[in-house]
Structure 1
Amino acid sequence: MDPIVRVVASVLVQAMSTDAWQRVQSAMVSLWRRASPEQANTIEAELAEARAEVLASRDARDEAAEADLVAMWQVRILRLLETEPALADELRQVLNDALAALPPDERARFNPTIRAEASGHGRVYQAGGNLHITEHGREGSAVGNTPPGPPLGDDDDEW
């Protein structure tokens, strides 16, 4: 799934409990009106229902309910983009506007700061997604500093 879809769905659900909600809802319904006008009123009603669910889940401290809503809106937004791929740039703008409208503490969830420090021979590996590390080396050398295969320029030595 396109990362923008995941983030937009998360920000959409997050915005449902903030003062930014009216603006975000209006922008999302506007996107649907352009891509699928016959669904726009239904989407508007479903967004209102989802907001009521978010507010209730916040009161009940039910994080699973919010996660379910995020998953549901991911599918809806993905289908919207499949119907009208040209809306991707506008969707990014809605995302940027929604993020800007969120309170700073809630906005920080979507713009994490990661800091790491290594010393000596330590290493730090960081990624915002999957990370695969393959290191090759031989005894006595710093791992990762020796290319795989036989020693360079030493064809007679056994490996």
Structure 2
Amino acid sequence: MDALVLAAGTAVVGAMATDSWQTARSAVVAWWRRVRPEEAEDVDAALAQVRPQLLAARQARDTASEAALASDWQARLRRVLEADPRLARELRSLLDDEITPALPAPERARVETLVMKASATGHGRVYQAGRDQHISER
């Protein structure tokens, strides 16, 4: 759930700086209306308020402010999923089908999350790679 929340919050904020923002915003608000209708209007207003802040941060190359905005949206999304973890599938669909496609390639790369976990017992070895891996042991 954490990787999903991180990716979704980052994608929402990243989408604010695109020409496709209105489409992404509509999708986010529609999702919120389905899952927490009592909060949808506040979310819509917050999205409208945050966008100029993000654009100003980007203009100033203020990555700390941009990260703080993403963190705020991640916290909102985390609270929704903590209240109802079953909504993770819907959030994943929103992210994959609505928000991420609206992002330019560099923004998409920022939201793609790779989580790898491994464990070994005894004297076992674990090899992990995000791409090609060649291991030569004798």
Q: Please tell me whether the aligned partners of residues 27 and 94 of structure 1 are also in contact (alpha carbons under 8 angstroms).
A: yes
Structure 2: distance between partners of 1:59 and 1:9: 20
Relative to its length, the structure with more helix (as a share) is 2
Taking structure 1 as reference, are residues 135 and 82 closer, same or farther at Cα in structure 2, changes over 3 Å only? closer
Structure 2: distance between partners of 1:76 and 1:86: 16
Deviation at 1:14, TM superposition (A): 0.7
Q: Please tell me whether the aligned partners of residues 11 and 99 of structure 1 are also in contact (alpha carbons under 8 angstroms).
A: yes
Structure 2: distance between partners of 1:18 and 1:38: 28
For residues 26-62 of structure 1, the C-alpha deviation after alignment (integer angstroms, 9 at most, x for no partner) is: 1111122122222111110001111111001011111
Percent identity between the two aligned chains: 45
Q: How many residues align?
A: 124
Where do 5+ consecutive residues of structure 1 fail to align?
113-126, 137-144, 146-159
- TM-score, normalized by length of structure 2? 0.76
Amino acid at match of 2:106: D
Structure 2: distance between partners of 1:42 and 1:19: 23
Aligned to 1:2: 2
Aligned to 1:101: 102
Q: Please tell me whether the aligned partners of residues 10 and 110 of structure 2 are also in contact (alpha carbons under 8 angstroms).
A: no
Q: Please tell me whether the aligned partners of residues 31 and 94 of structure 2 are also in contact (alpha carbons under 8 angstroms).
A: no
Deviation at 1:85, TM superposition (A): 3.0
Deviation at 1:84, TM superposition (A): 3.5
Taking structure 1 as reference, are residues 135 and 85 closer, same or farther at Cα in structure 2, changes over 3 Å only? closer
Taking structure 1 as reference, are residues 27 and 134 closer, same or farther at Cα in structure 2, changes over 3 Å only? same
Q: Give 4+ residue runs of structure 1 displaced > 6 Å after superposition.
A: 130-135
Rg larger in structure: 1
Taking structure 1 as reference, are residues 132 and 104 closer, same or farther at Cα in structure 2, changes over 3 Å only? same
Deviation at 1:93, TM superposition (A): 1.2
